[in-house]
Amino acid sequence: MKGFHDNKKGTGIVFDDIFLISGARTPFGKYCGSLSRISPTDLGIHSSIAALEKAGIKAEETDQVIAANIGQSSCDAYFLPRHISLYSGIPQSVPALMVQRICGSGLETIITAGEQITLGKAGTILCTGTENMSLSPTVSFGNRMGYHLGKPLFHDMLWEALTDTAAGCPMGYTAENIAKKYKITRKEADEFACLSFERTIAAANRGFFNDEISPVIPKVFYAESLEKREITLPGGITSVSSDEHVRPSGIDALSKLPPVFSKVGILTAGNSSGVVDGSASAVVAHRDTISAKKLKYLSRVAAGVSCGTNPKEMGLSPVPAIRLLLEATGLKISDIGLFEINEAFSAQLIGCERELGIDRAKLNVNGGAIAIGHPLAATGVRLAVTLSREMKIRKVKYGIASICIGGGQGTALLLENMENT
């Protein structure tokens, strides 16, 4: 292990013996869709149980739980990491931790797990990112102190959270800034979105996502001596097994959508990431654990970095993050066989693609968040698991997962395929 920091470039760590064994996720439910009434805790429990099962790890063999959740959308949200741990069957003696780097939080669970294992504080860690954006509350800050007669003040937390008050604008405007900087046209943005939908639909049709999606069904979770928890689905639905935001979206349909952030802008609901609900989990372990238990694994977690960038161009943050990751590991862009960079906004992805010189044939080959959706804390875990699986299929040695972060941060993770490359 080698940790490093540079206040002009960022911070990171290079690992030796850390592996991503396996992972699983819920389908991502559309905004106010089939998963909209399920708390992020219960979504997290569901994906955690599935990930442990796929990894071949017994819950009682887990040494830590690291969870991520951005929008607190249930009354017991304070307890989310602990409840995910307990109701996944992990012993009461095992501690649970919450990490938060906004959209980078899912990747951060994996990086933090690697650090904890390297420090000797665990051999096996369950990582979970979970989000229910539909349940994001309407709040009244300060009502405990009262309000003027006839003037109660309420805020939509989901809408308000999409505005970076430091940058002085919604995050969508930061992507419009990138569009202007790189002279990205509406046609180019829509073409990228169309490709995302086409790739996602093609991947779904050939069954690619079947190996990572664990269908959500009505169920009850039990934990020793504790109150039960329950998943129910609306309207007589008995199972949710596929991503709900995905739909055929051709250029003609996309081109008719109005801009949503600026009257003269290029970003629309069709070429920006979808608002969805869902959870993703992964199991991370030390090489010794894998050897002792004779486990199969997806990839080696080789290195992870995070950096800060201009909040007004936050979507470009994967650029310095990936450059720092390459610098730390001695690799070049040409050494990387696949990239998974979160599609927060089409213009943002195109800007990163151009700045880094990435071949689009290597980028988000199974689609991305424009089509699948972006359930904040869950996305990073999904990126890492999806990337690792595709690396094995294509016999690619190195892959990078990266994500831009509201407020102007970027995180990137280097994964290595140790087999058949």
Pairing of β 18-25 and β 64-68? unpaired
Q: Of 103, 127, 307, 352, which one is the catalytic site residue? A: 103
Between CA 407 and CA 164 the distance in angstroms is: 6
Burial of 348 (0-12, 13-18, 19+ CB in 10 A): buried
The secondary structure of 115-148 as a DSSP string is: HHHHTTS-SEEEEEEEEESTTPPEE-TTGGG---
Q: Could you confirm whether 404 is annotated as catalytic? A: yes
CB 364 within 8 A of CB 350: no
Whole-Å CA distances, 146 to 138, 139, 140 = 17, 14, 10
Question: How many residues are there in the chain?
Answer: 421
Between CA 362 and CA 340 the distance in angstroms is: 9
CA 316 to chain CA mean position, Å:
17
Angle subtended at Cα 193 by Cα 338 and Cα 27, rounded to the nearest 5 degrees: 75
Burial of 119 (0-12, 13-18, 19+ CB in 10 A): exposed
Nearest to 132 by CA among 238, 271, 31, 14: 31
Between CA 175 and CA 177 the distance in angstroms is: 5
Q: Of 127, 307, 352, 404, which one is the catalytic site residue? A: 404
What backbone phi and psi angles, to 5 degrees, belong to 262? -140, 140
Between CA 284 and CA 273 the distance in angstroms is: 28
Instruction: State which amino acid sits at residue 244.
Output: E
Angle subtended at Cα 212 by Cα 209 and Cα 217, rounded to the nearest 5 degrees: 100
Q: Could you confirm whether 169 is annotated as catalytic? A: no
Whole-Å CA distances, 63 to 3, 26, 78, 97, 387 = 23, 23, 21, 12, 25
The catalytic residues are 103, 404
